[in-house]
Copies of this chain bind each other. A is one copy, B any other.
Amino acid sequence: MADSVKVLIGGADAELLAQVRALSNRIELVSAEQVEQRPELIPELEIVYGGLSRARLPEATGLRWLQTGGAGVDGLLTPELRARDFIVTNASGIHAEPIAEHMFGMLLMVTRRLAEAWDQQKTRQWKGYDFGASVQLLAGKTLGVLGVGAIGGHSAKVGQAFGMRVIGLRRTGEPHPHVERMYRPEERLEFFRESDVVMNSLPLTENTRHTMSWEEFAALRPGAIVVNTGRGGTIHTDALVAALREGRVGAALLDVTDPEPLPEDHPLWAMENVYITPHYSGAHPGYQQRAGRIFLENLRRYLAGEPLVNVVDKTEGY
């Protein structure tokens, strides 16, 4: 089969495998187990969708296209892999709804004091006054969406429905229907000065590392709430901890941290107004099926010689 295409699919369900097989008889499916037993297959792989560890990726010298199951590729693209000419596609887009829901859930847990109410429930006490006196209202606040991609755009829409004023920061500065004012990276301090709530869903690239650092935290409105579901490294952790201690940041709601996992002795774990969820904001029922559909569509395009969707710019890093 000179014309055959070796495709490695790791951990796929039977339905996806059947759909892949039905697509073309040129496809030669390889499983993670086969690769494990016969590593000499790795250089022959043309397409990889899971099933190969990052450490072994350099061995895939025949690779033409890599589909990832997640969104961020910051841990994947070493300088060597960037220099090679295979295409990288991700599953960006399927995370918009779960991550926006996660961010608003964490935010409302703080503004409505629900974590404290949950702690009090365990003592079977009915005392609402303290909570009622210290809640905050989203309506009327300014939501600063940091990184207006699929996740940020959906968050902007929800924020508007809640009655928030929504501003955004985007590399291109391109407008968005749910963002009242879009800032460019060079205007970022003004963006932070305007935000009561910052929702950060930035990917980690050379440009986005420490997007929120000493200067940016100093610009924030006192008591501002910072939500991060992008990558921990987009925030300078020491600067965040200092801003929390000074009360400049009112609360930090973190699904991602730097370092990650957060070490047991890290101060963030026990700081007042810090809420941590261990990197699962993108998870949702049907995740694998939705990611699989992106792969399947791309495989169809690949075989037909059409351009793929969700192509990662290997230089930009997302």
Q: If the complex has contacts A131-B283, A262-B126, are A137 and B105 also in contact, measured as CB distance less than 8 A?
A: no
Is B112 a contact of A105 with CB atoms below 8 Å? yes
Query: Please, which residues of chain B bring their CB within 8 A of the CB of A121?
Result: 269, 275-276
A311 on the interface (CB 8 Å rule)? no
In contact, B111 and A280 (Cβ under 8 angstroms): no
* B104 engages A108 (CB within 8 Å): yes
Q: Is A117 interfacial (CB 8 A cutoff)? A: yes
Report if A276-B108 is in contact (Cβ < 8 Å); known contacts: A133-B283, A262-B126, A264-B124. Answer: no
Q: How large is the interface on A (under 10, 10 to 19, 20 to 34, 35 or more residues)?
A: 35 or more
A157 at the interface (CB under 8 A from B): yes
Residue A285 interfacial (CB < 8 Å): yes
Given pairs A115-B118, A121-B269, 14 additional interface contacts (CB within 8 A): A105-B112, A106-B112, A108-B109, A112-B277, A117-B276, A117-B277, A124-B264, A125-B278, A128-B278, A131-B277, A135-B283, A158-B162, A160-B161, A161-B161
Show 5 A/B contacts (Cβ-Cβ < 8 Å), sorted by A.
A100-B162, A105-B109, A106-B114, A112-B277, A136-B284
